[in-house]
Structure 1
Amino acid sequence: MNEQPPQPQPVTSLLMRRCKIAWRLLLLFNFTLGAYLFASAQLRELKENRGRKAHRLHKSRTSAEVPHKDPITDSMEWNYDDLLVPATTPVAVRNPLLEEQQREVLQWMLQEKRKMKAKDKAEKKQIDEEKAILKRFLRAKSIPKF
């Protein structure tokens, strides 16, 4: 009548049974991480090989020599004054607009601002402020010179 209690199972197998899902997820994660690292290394090597090949092609193209009959400097005479003095065109000064023309331009600007559609509240606020400034200029007796 001496019954012996059942032998306890080893701890490692019991832990493996309890954590079966965790072990599977860990194994899957390790495989995917390895695949990612392998693929990124392959991609990096592929890009480097393409770069080397493009460099070799470019180098082979530039190494071809073109025969010259005469050197360029022998056949023409240089005018060094043209090279040293920069060629600049003077800025044309325009006559100032008359006050009536300025009012027409400001009126046109106000009409264009009214046509604009705002995307958000900040843009709407900015457009309203610009319209208020234009209206103030149009209502004034004299327009400031720009």
Structure 2
Amino acid sequence: MSDGPKLFTNKPRKAQLKHKTEAGRPPSQPSMDPPRPPETPPPPPSSAQVPKETAARRYKFVWPVLLAVNVAIGAYLFLNANKKDEKEEAEVVGGAPASSASATVAVPEKTLPPEPTIVPAIIPREPIPEDEQRKLLKWMLEEKRKVKTKNPEEKKRIDEEKAILKQFIRAKSLPTI
């Protein structure tokens, strides 16, 4: 009935170990040693005899986890604070204050005169031949047929676009692009 080695809080003496091995022998094998009186087991260890471990040593596997969690939380808070500051700066630079509580003094905005818009020169291009236009419209129709719709409104819109493309393809003359 030996379950293997046992861990003891107090190491057993040699005499105790010998006594246990003699008791475990079958009766057919006589013992060569003279019989000894059974010894009483040692008293259970009291709280005064057991050395106290500090909490840091007792939970030494917890410290790396706590350190990693603290570093992760610190990095998260640091990055969110930076993002928040960038948003506030962008709002202040854009002219609108960050919040109504932080804007105690209203600063009138100076309006700049509108800048003249520069229109790029329109370059006249050659008209696209009708057969190329039809090929292009047929290609667009094929691409519309390949589209997978997610909801009925999108399907309806794509069906309308396909109908318009079919009308242009079947028409005798195409509008100039």
Interval containing the TM-score (normalised by the shorter chain): 0.3 to 0.5
The structure whose Rg is larger is 2
Q: Which has the higher contact order (CA 8 A, sep 6+)?
A: 1
Larger helix fraction of residues: 1
> TM-score, normalized by length of structure 2?
0.33
> TM-score, normalized by length of structure 1?
0.39
